[in-house]
Each structure stands twice: as C-alpha cells, then as structure tokens.
Structure 1
Amino acid sequence: MAKGAFQTSREIFENPIWIDVVKFRIFFYIYGNAVFANDGTTVAGIHLKRGQYLRSYRNLQKDLVYLDKKAFKQYSLSTIKDKVDQLVKEGRIRIESTDYGTLFTVVNYEEYQGFERYTNILSEQQPNGNRTVTEQYPNNNKNDKNDKNDKNNNITSKKSKKRIYSDDDPNKKLAKLLFKLISKNQDIQEPDLDKWANTIRLTIEADKRTGKEVQEMIVWSSQSDFWSGVILSPTSLRKNFDKMAAQKNKQKRSNRSSTPSVEPERETNSEVNF
C-alpha cells in the first residue's frame, strides 16, 4: 500500500457516491493508493503514471475486508466488478486489463490533487465525462456554498472585477517567492500570480498575520520534507498556516533546548520588505 498523504475535498460528503458505501470504498481505496509522483513509478515491469493504480480484483476483495457483527467479511467479486463498472460508466475511473491485474486510472486526478480547485468554481460547460467527482451531479446547495465562499474570502461579488497587482506589490512578491520555492520541489506550471497575490493579501489582512510571518512560513514550508509536498499554492498555505506555525514553534523550542549554540542566520535573496 502506498505511504504518505493525499487530499480530498469535503464536498465528497455532498456527492451521491457518499451514500453508496461499497462503491465509495472502492473508489476511495483506488484513488488513495494511486501514484502521486509526477514521474510515476514502475510496478511489475509496468510504468504507472500519476493517478494510476495496479491491482487485481481478488486482491481488492482482500483489501476491502470489513467487520460486521464481530465477523470479518468480504464483498463478492461480482459485487466489486459491478461497482467498478459503475465507476467507469460515471467517468470516475478508467480500467485496462494487464497480465498482473487491472490498471485503474483515476479520471481528473490532477483536479483532485490541485488545491486551487477547492476555491475556484470551474466552468459548468465542461462535458460531464471530464468534470470532477463533485461536479457531475446537480448541487442543490450551490448558492449557499457560493455565499459562504464569498464571505470567507471577503469577496463582495462573485462577478467582481479581477484585482491586478503590480510587480512591486509585497503580496505579488510573496506570490512569486512561493512559486519559485515550489518550483524547486515540484514540476508545476506558472499560476495566475494575481490570484495568488490576492490570496496572500487575505492571509495577511483577514487572518491578521504580518507579511514577515507569511514570508517566513513560505520559506520554512519549502524546507520541510512533508510540507513542501503539501503547500502548492497560497490557498493551501492559508489553510494549513496554524498547523505549520505550531510545528515550526515546537521545532524551534526543541532546537533551543538541544544545543546552546546560536544557529547562524541563513542568507536569502528573496526577502520582501514590509
């Protein structure tokens, strides 16, 4: 089983797949174990791309064992195959037979693992087969959700004019710094830096943080083995800021108690003045 972490939107609780326990478990298991690395990996001589998972139906049967009235039970192979066929029909996964099992491909895996998709409303004119899990079905609470998103991000109108930041704006500089450091660890395309700058502005103004604190957290997260793979946008930085701050402070206290020497100040050419 793959190690590490992967992200899932809370919107999954509002999706029809949530009420189909067996189908949800199968999809979530495949999605959670799919290859995360951009370069993929090789299993049994087969190169798996990002978002793919190689597993036989019989092994899936063992993986999905569940406890019912103090007894361990398994889904039948026919049940698993039926639910997989449904997932394929719904456009959530694609399957391909190999000599070593079934090659599962999670459709729109990049969308699921891109933090920006959880804050931006994607075009509703996409063909259903290319839409993400949470967009394939009507959302009765869409207006309420949009209102909450607008409130949380201090946006007065969903159709308000896009804010443009000058290159010498401190928020834009922090956006560029974040992109530069992410690019050292991840292969990503250049984002909309004005959107990134706006999220950083909200992190400072709405969350009551200083620009210096945000800058230090950007640098610290890029140097962390774990957080460097999580913080891939200002949105994820803002969402995880408190968790990282607590860990950063704990790490700082631990370093102070373990050695009396003063850590030399690191040189950096990326400092932003506030």
Structure 2
Amino acid sequence: MQNGWFKLYRDLLEKPLWVQSTPEQKTVLITLLSMANHQEKEWEWKGTSYKVAPGQFVTSLESIAEKCGKGISIQNVRTALKRFEKYEFLTNESTNKNRLVTIVNWGFYQGNSDDLTNQLTGNQQAVNKQLTTNKNEKKDKNEKNNNTSCPKQAYDENSSFYKLSFLFFEKIKMNNPAFKEPNFQKWSNDIRLMIERDNRTPEQIKYLINWCQNDNFWKSNILSPAKLRKQFDQLIIRVKSESENKKSGLTLIKTPISNPDLSSDEIRKMKKLAESVPL
C-alpha cells in the first residue's frame, strides 16, 4: 500500500471532466489519482515483469471499486474509465486478468516541484513569467469552457441522461421519420437539469416522453427536452386529469392547459384535482 499524499489542483474543479461527472465518477477519479504510482515500480503485466512509470498502475475493475468504497459498483468504474478516456485524462489497457491505467500528464500535475521548475526555466524571473502566462492561458480556457453550453463528449452514451435523450428522439421519429438528429449532448444536459435542478425523477421524465408523443396535441409541440422541461408541470396536470376522468368514465377534451379559453377558476380546479391523483 502506498503512503504519503498526492496533489489535487483546484483548477480540476472547473474542468468539464469534473463538472459534468456524476458523484460516483468523481469518487472513481479521486481514487484513481490516489492509486497511481509516484515512482517507478515493478509489476506483473501480461504474464511478465513490467516496470510501471509514475502515473501508471496495474489494477482491476474489482480492485478500483473496492478502494472507492461503499456505493460504487464495477459498472460505475467501467463507465467512468470509458468517459475519462474520451477526455484524454487517462489511457486504459486491459487483459482477461488485469488492466494497466496511465494518468495522462501525470508529471505536470504530480511531479516534483523542483523538476517542474527546471523544465520551465533556468532562473526565477523566467519562472514567474511562465507561471503568469500559464495562469492567463488557464483563465482563457476556463472562460471558453464556461461559455460552451455543451462540452464535447460531456455525457457518456451509457449515462441515464443520454439514454433518455435517445429515447425521446426515437419516439419523435416514430411520429415524424424526417425529424433531424439533434445534438444529444445538449439534450442530455437539459435532461440533467430536469433531474438535478428541478428534482424530476428519470421515471417521470420517461413517462412524459412516452405520453406526450402519444398525445395528438403535445406530440407536435414537445419536440425537445428543453420544451419538455418548460411544460413539465402542465403536462403532469394534464396526465393526472386524464387519469381521473378515465376513472370516472368521462372523456377528457384535448385542450392545452395554457388555452386562453379556460378560466382561471377552471385551471385552479384542475390543479387541485392533480394534487389528489398520483403520477
């Protein structure tokens, strides 16, 4: 077992790699940094002796999950490794027994401070100039990232956000085969906002996706997660009202909740009715 400590730069907290990661993926990321070797070490790899460099380590999915602790599954680890590879944070080579993980640019972030200084310049004045330049470059890069609403490959295809986005697209295509393929990263981000900011559940979102694409009115008006998010409360009221009317044997007139022909008293009654019917 390795002793000592490792560096964790605050700059990491502003990168899409961290910002767009799930709590499980963040746990895996920190665990990987703690597992990486700080100096050359000899391991067995592919049946032969292998010297791993700083930033590398030989491990397994089971071992990573175990070190992450309670609540992290092997599938969580597998998904995180795949996502981190897309961000070029690490490389991951596996066999049927174990895998070799390499943290990219380990020397820059975790290397010896003296070594880093020597690489930058031979005198203190040049060091200060270079560090100032690097700081400004990082600031520009962070501003660019903040202004980008949808970082490239921010959402893995195996994430629940992406899967719900793809389901939405498939349902729309069933009604309109000519519907163009959307930006799934942007759609996934809107799904994430519904779950994390609006406290919607994936089950609710999935239900409304199916429901609105089967409704004669809403299927032509709800054509993106952003529009679904905007109309979410109205759709819930409509679904609950429809459910209540089916129970009472009545036929619900397909009129949007926002229709100006409905009086405020009628809308208030529908909201009261919605509160008494479970989704």
TM-score band by shorter chain is: 0.3 to 0.5
Q: TM-score under structure 1 normalisation?
A: 0.39
Q: Which has the higher helix share?
A: 2
- Specify which structure has the bigger relative contact order, considering alpha-carbon pairs within 8 angstroms and separated by 6 or more residues: 1
TM-score by length of 2: 0.38
